[in-house]
Amino acid sequence: MSRATIVLAAAMALANPLSAQMSKSDVMSFLDSQEEHLTDIAMEIWDLAEVGYLEEQSSALLAGELEAHGFDLEWGVAGIPTAFVATYGSGSPVVGVLAEFDALPGINQDAVPFRSPIEGKIAGHACGHHLYGTASSAAAIGAAEWLRQTGNPGTIRLYGTPAEEGGSGKVYMVREGLFDDVDVVLAWHAGDRNSASPGSNLAVKSAKFRFSGVSAHAAGAPERGRSALDGVEAMNFMANLMREHVPQESRLHYVITSGGSAPNVVPDFSEVYYYVRHPDPEMVRAIFDRLVSAAEGAASGTGTTMEYEVIGGSYSRLSVTALQEVVYENLMTVGGVYYDDQEWTFAEALKNELPAAPELESAAEIMPFEYRRTNASSDAGDVSWMVPASTLSTATWIPGTGAHSWQAIAAGGTTIGAKGMMVAAKTMALTAIDLFTSPEKVAAIRAEFEEFRGVDFQYDPLIGDRAPPLDYRASLIGGR
């Protein structure tokens, strides 16, 4: 190398603090420099609170950010207008990152430490998906910057995955084969602690059961009526009896989404929306089939007719310890969440709204590495049976906060949520770098995955062959 070339290289390194030998510390510094901008994106998605399959602005915000950093975009994948795939780099390994951005209907809250719903708002980010999508995009951007600066081979691919809350968006993307060439997938979730332990959750299948009857005057001519609501109530009664005769790990829950409009009119239409859960997807299928039989019996006994529509379904998570070990090491490097004085005041006030909340200092701690199972479900489960997929939780909420609560929305709408988001972004970016630079780690992860999954595994999605239910939340916003 000539002296002129050396001088030029040194000058370029001084001009660009991210040198060609970009380290993990450089990547964390790069992400730190983006924190204010990333927080703005997350809080805009928090404010939008768009529900499943209708997240046009939220997905566009994240996709636009990725495109601005050199990612190639593919929109509308798997027949879902708000789903996208963003790719940077080339060659192996291919590291995928999952990004969610849908909100939960029926609950909303201002970013204050006391109950304060926002008038007119139909949904809120009670599961932290505004942070999820933003942190995942940030991690992908950080990994792409490392690839750009180092010239290392490898591909980082961000999956924009809509409708996790009951719509099973990722399942359609898996079914479409979008993960078939991926070596490892990285994912995370908002939470009240920092953890990268291996573990699993529950498989789930959901459906809307619709009963049709005959309307009549409920007082003047009740004998002429056949109540669709009676059909729903008879089904619910049998389902509640069935709870005693299913494995104890099972979960059945429902809401009546339509029960009639006036007490003096026998309703000719009624609908109930069910979830069935269990750790084993095959047990979910079996319990669901029994639920269908109960619905058929209810229709027969009440003189109504019944039809049902499967809305969602996902596998339980398959956990790979070798992958979680890599994530855990990087989480230990990044560290937990520390509150400043203003955040501490907010957290103390919000803690008073929680039952038996642990000490706030635990937000800074990393939980021990040990197997854990939760009773929640996620469509990331299907991904984990097709490709090794990690899990990670960071303290985006104050300790003791549960998902799907107004307290989660409140904390997630503040810098407390943003700090946890940045812990996740850094941890996943550093993990991607480890996978890019260590073929032996990728090989070990893949070997353990194949062993756990079994040579005879055949993927059979719980949703069957139905198309994505793009309108399953449409009634919430005026029939769109």
The full set of domain ranges for the chain reads 18-199+318-453, 203-315
Of the pLDDT bands very low, low, confident and very high (cuts 50, 70, 90), residue 478 is low
**H or E stretch covering 39:** helix 35-48
Residue 131 burial (CB count, 10 A): 33
The whole-number average pLDDT for the span 28-42 is: 98
Burial of 259 (0-12, 13-18, 19+ CB in 10 A): middle
pLDDT tens figures, 406-447: 999 999 999 999 999 999 999 999 999 999 999 999 999 999
Positive or negative: CA dihedral 368, 132, 130, 33:
positive
Q: Which residues contact residue 350 at a Cβ distance below 8 angstroms, ignoring those fewer than 6 apart?
A: 113, 398, 401, 407, 410, 411
Query: Residue 455 pLDDT > 50, yes or no?
Result: yes
Lowest mean pLDDT among 1-5, 70-74, 79-83, 276-280: 1-5
Residue 185 pairs with which residues in a beta bridge? 96, 389
The whole-number average pLDDT for the span 219-242 is: 97
At 3 the pLDDT is: 37
Interhelix angle 415-437/24-33, rounded to 10 degrees, is 150
Residue indicated by tokens 């780690």: 441
Q: Which of 199, 142, 198 is nearest to 18 (CA)?
A: 142
Locate 266 and state its tokens.
Answer: 């026998």
pLDDT tens figures, 127-160: 999 999 999 999 999 999 999 999 999 999 999 9
Q: Are 134 and 421 in contact (CB under 8 A)?
A: yes
Alpha helices (H) in 335-438, listed in sequence order: 341-351, 380-384, 406-412, 415-437
At 153 the pLDDT is: 96
**H or E stretch covering 309:** strand 305-314
The whole-number average pLDDT for the span 258-265 is: 96
Query: Residue 63 pLDDT > 80, yes or no?
Result: yes
Which CATH number is associated with domain 18-199+318-453?
3.40.630.10
Which CATH number is associated with domain 203-315?
3.30.70.360
Distance between CA 418 and CA 411 in Å, rounded? 9
Distance between CA 457 and CA 447 in Å, rounded? 15
Peptide bond into 93 cis (omega under 30): yes
- Beta strand pairing call for 84-90 and 72-75: antiparallel
At 20 the pLDDT is: 56
Q: Are 266 and 304 in contact (CB under 8 A)?
A: no
